[in-house]
Chains A and B, each alone.
Chain A
Amino acid sequence: MNEFALEIKDLKKVYNDGFVALKGINLKVKNGDFFALLGANGAGKSTTLGIVSSLVNITSGEVSVFGKNLNKHRDEVKRKIGVVPQEFNFSTFEKVHDIIMQQAGYYGLPKAVAAANTEKYLKKLELWDKRDKQARFLSGGMKRRLMIARALVHEPELLILDEPTAGVDIEIRRTMWELLSELNEQGKTIILTTHYLEEAENLCKNIAIIKQGEIIVDTSMRELLSRLDKSTFVFDLEQNVKELDLLDNMTLTQGNQLEVEIKKGHSLNEVMQFFLTHNIQVQSVRPKTNRLEELFVSLSQTKGEKK
């Protein structure tokens, strides 16, 4: 079995209008990995995934999936990939069951296999009861799940999800996280882009950050999070502290709300001592953002380093 599910070498993409979307990126995703590809809007995430899934033409460079070169073995590579795009791209007038069966047909699955897989994944995604409904009558969350079922129907080894939980409520999002984790545990390699950094932090083992068509970070999630040199906490207080002389790491955001930056290796004791000294009652405390979000913002603002 090949060590890497995806290998990208010096991949460049220049669109017809001259926009350089990818400036020669290199990326390796291990077989069985749960990999996050993050970046701001327009950074090149969707272009990269679009090239891997044959939706965007390559300008130059090489893409291999499980050791097979995309340009030389396109059909074989396509059979190994399942794609969940960012935007709904099914015919809204078709019935749920027909959409999945058709996709199975495009992959050449015999009717009996297609029907069995369609039932399996519609049940798994809790859409079996909706199988005879036209897709336009589904809720946003159901439409997202429909796209996942469609991507899985031919049982791909590599699943590519471009913002799969965008616009989905938290309950469905958590159900989808469980499903994706289960698929990953079963051996499927998953590549995910998302704007919910909590999602990437919770699910993914490895991560790459792309900025203006270049990979600026390519490492493990654990290693990246260890780079975080400070955390910001928000304290909600009982009383107004406007008149007080605050510590250097404190910023008053409202009369009774403080943001406190704690450097790596430092504890919250000094801050708690300050509140005790001034007899200030703390109602609640929470991290301002999740850790990955804080890192992502700082990396996006500075010129990144290459691994």
Chain B
Amino acid sequence: MNQINWIAFLTIVKKEIRRYTRIWMQTLLPPAITMVLYFIIFGNLIGSRIGEMGGFDYMAFIVPGLIMMAIITNSYGNVAASFYSTKFQRNIEELLVAPVSNQIILSGYVIGGASRGMAVGVIVTILSMFFTKLQIHNIFVILAVSMLTAIVFSMAGFINAMLANSFDDISIIPTFVLTPLTYLGGVFYSISMLPPFWQVVSQFNPVLYMVNAFRYGILGVSDVNIWFSFAMLGMFAVILYTVCLYLLNKGTGIKQ
């Protein structure tokens, strides 16, 4: 990346960070409150009756999944909302008239979105320490999985924003696709508890691999092979990057 592209990239990233920190009451605070409620209700109140899962008390078991859920929804939501607003207010034209390549536009928004996902992940992790003793099994796996997941879902949010024609369109996917996939991705349970048929069905859920790989990084246990999880994450990253660039090069929703 030459100096001009690097400056343009940093400009987009800083703009994105400034945007979500300016409206922190809407972006950083709500996931913190939601996760504290999860910790209290599912972890403490209900979790104390459930007992152990996967060899750990229920609170410790669900913490990795809840951190991952926060990273997923915030990475996705940041790019979907920010890029769609940019389209809606037409200030995408500021970028289109400038000599900024599509790769730089995409990278800037994705890293901006991923940074919010990671920031919320850190906040939720700190909060979880008030409820359970957090252990670290493999810090490299934790960092790699969380970053890759944030990047993958930022790209998914980018695609949503490019194809959206109204603000309704950027809430449909999170409501009807993302939330069910996350809840059914093994955040609150081990898939070994499911009947064999649903265990097979669960393996088609990409969130399962992310949650389990992250849980492995923290607790050292996983329902799926850790390397297979990384391969899945890598595959999703490549596919989504290709789709994003295709839409940008075509000018879908941003150029006539």
Q: Cα distance A85–B94 when bound, in Å?
A: 10
- How many residue-residue contacts, CB under 8 A, span A and B? 80
The digit string for A80-102, where 1 denotes a CB below 8 A from any CB of B, is: 01010101011111000010001
Question: Which of B48-56, B85-93, B151-159, B233-241 participates in binding chain A?
Answer: B85-93
Q: Are A89 and B94 in contact (CB under 8 A)?
A: yes
Q: Are B97's CB and A55's CB within 8 A?
A: yes
CA distance A15 to B256 in the complex (A): 7
Tell me if B95 counts as interface (CB < 8 A to partner A). yes
The answer to whether B97 and A90 touch across the interface, beta carbons within 8 angstroms, is no
A103: B residues at CB distance < 8 A: 94, 98
The docked-state distance in angstroms from the alpha carbon of A57 to that of B255 is 7
Which of chain B's residues has its CB closest to A89's CB? B90
When the two chains form their complex, are residues A106 and B98 in contact, meaning their CB atoms are under 8 A apart? Answer: yes
Partner of B256, one of A16, A79, A105: A16
- Cβ-defined contact, A108 with B94, below 8 A: no
A54–B101 alpha-carbon span in the complex (Å): 12
Does any Cβ of B come within 8 Å of A18's Cβ? no
Q: Measured between alpha carbons, how far is A35 from B19 in the docked complex, in Å? A: 39
A101 to B205, CA, bound (A): 43
* Minimum Cβ distance to chain A for residue B256 (Å): 5
The answer to whether A173 has its CB under 8 Å from any CB of chain B is: no
CB distance from B81 to the nearest CB of A (A): 13
Asked whether, in the complex, the Cβ of A83 is within 8 Å of the Cβ of B97, the reply is yes
Contact call B4/A108, Cβ cutoff below 8 A: yes
The smallest C-beta distance from B2 to any residue of chain A, in angstroms, reads 8
Q: Which of A55, A76, A78, A102 lies in contact with B11, CB distance below 8 A?
A: A102
In the bound complex, residues from chain B placing their C-beta under 8 Å from that of A15 are 256
Q: Is the interface of B mostly helix, strand, loop or mixed?
A: helix
- List the A residue with the shortest CB-CB distance to B256: A56
**Residue from A75, A103, A105 with most neighbouring chain B CB atoms (10 Å):** A105
B11 touches A105 (CB 8 A): yes
Within 8 A of B (CB), among A57-90: 57, 74-76, 78-79, 81, 83, 85, 87, 89-90
Q: Does B8 contact A (CB under 8 A)?
A: yes
Contact B22 A107 (CB under 8 A): no
With A81-B97, A98-B18, A105-B11 as contacts: A91 and B256 at CB distance below 8 Å: no
Q: Is the interface of A mostly helix, strand, loop or mixed?
A: loop
Question: B94 touching A55 by the CB < 8 A rule?
Answer: no
Closest residue of chain B to A134 (Cβ to Cβ) is B22
Tell me the complex Cα distance, A286–B196, Å: 91
Task: Please judge, given known A-B contacts A55-B255, A109-B7, whether A78 and B99 are in contact too, CB under 8 Å.
Answer: yes
Q: What's the nearest-Cβ distance from chain B to residue A274, in Å?
A: 56
Q: Check A102–B94 contact: CB distance below 8 A.
A: yes
Does A32 lie at the interface of the complex (its beta carbon under 8 Å from any beta carbon of B)?
no
Interface size on A, residues (CB 8 A): 33
B3 close to A (CB within 8 Å): yes
**A90 and B7 form a contact (CB under 8 A):** no
Asked whether A106 lies within 8 Å of B89 as measured between CB atoms, the reply is: no
Q: Are A79 and B99 in contact (CB under 8 A)?
A: yes
| Residue B220 lies at the interface, judged by CB distance under 8 Å to chain A | no
Residues of A within 8 A of B101 (CB): 75
Please tell me which one of the listed residues A74, A76, A90, A110 contacts residue B94 in the complex, with CB atoms under 8 A apart: A90
Are B97 and A53 neighbours in the complex by a CB distance under 8 Å? yes
Q: Does B5 contact A (CB under 8 A)?
A: yes
Residues of chain A from 8 to 61 with CB closer than 8 A to chain B in the complex? 15-16, 50, 53-57
| Residue numbers in B under 8 Å from A109 (CB-CB) | 7
Please state if B93 and A55 are interface contacts (CB–CB under 8 Å).
yes
Bound together, the chains give a CA A103 to CA B251 distance in angstroms of 20
Q: Mark B219-256, 1 if CB is under 8 A from A, else 0.
A: 00000000000000000000000000000000100011
Q: Which residues of B contact A93 (CB under 8 A)?
A: 19, 22
CA distance A92 to B88 in the complex (A): 12
Q: Is A211 an interface residue when CB atoms closer than 8 A count as contact?
A: no
Distance in angstroms from B133 CB to nearest chain A CB is: 42
Q: A56-B255, A108-B7 are in contact. Are A87 and B90 (CB under 8 A)?
A: yes
Asked if A188 is an interface residue, CB under 8 A from chain B, the answer is no
Complex interface: chain A residues within 8 A of B7 (CB): 105, 108-110
Q: Which residue of A lies closest to B85 (CB)?
A: A91
Q: Are A107 and B255 closer than 8 Å at their CB atoms?
A: no
Counting chain B CB atoms within 10 Å of each CB, the highest count among A54, A87, A102, A110 belongs to A102
Tell whether, in the assembled complex, residue A106 and residue B94 are in contact, meaning their CB atoms are under 8 Å apart: yes
Distance in Å: Cβ of B253 to nearest Cβ of chain A: 12
Complex alpha-carbon distance, A15 and B255, angstroms: 11
Contact flags B5-29 to A (C-beta < 8 A → 1, else 0): 1011011101100110010000000
Which residues of B have CB within 8 Å of A16?
Answer: 256
Question: Are B96 and A55 interface neighbours, CB within 8 A?
Answer: yes
**Beta-carbon contact of B255 and A106 below 8 Å:** no
Given known pairs A78-B99, A89-B91, A93-B22, the reply for A50 and B8 (CB within 8 Å) is no
7 smallest A-B Cβ distances: which pairs? A105-B11, A108-B4, A106-B98, A75-B99, A89-B90, A78-B99, A108-B7
Given A83-B97, A107-B8, A108-B4, 5 more A-B residue pairs with CB atoms under 8 Å apart are: A56-B256, A105-B8, A105-B10, A108-B5, A109-B7
Q: Which residues of A contact B (CB under 8 A)?
A: 15-16, 50, 53-57, 74-76, 78-79, 81, 83, 85, 87, 89-93, 98, 102-103, 105-110, 150, 154
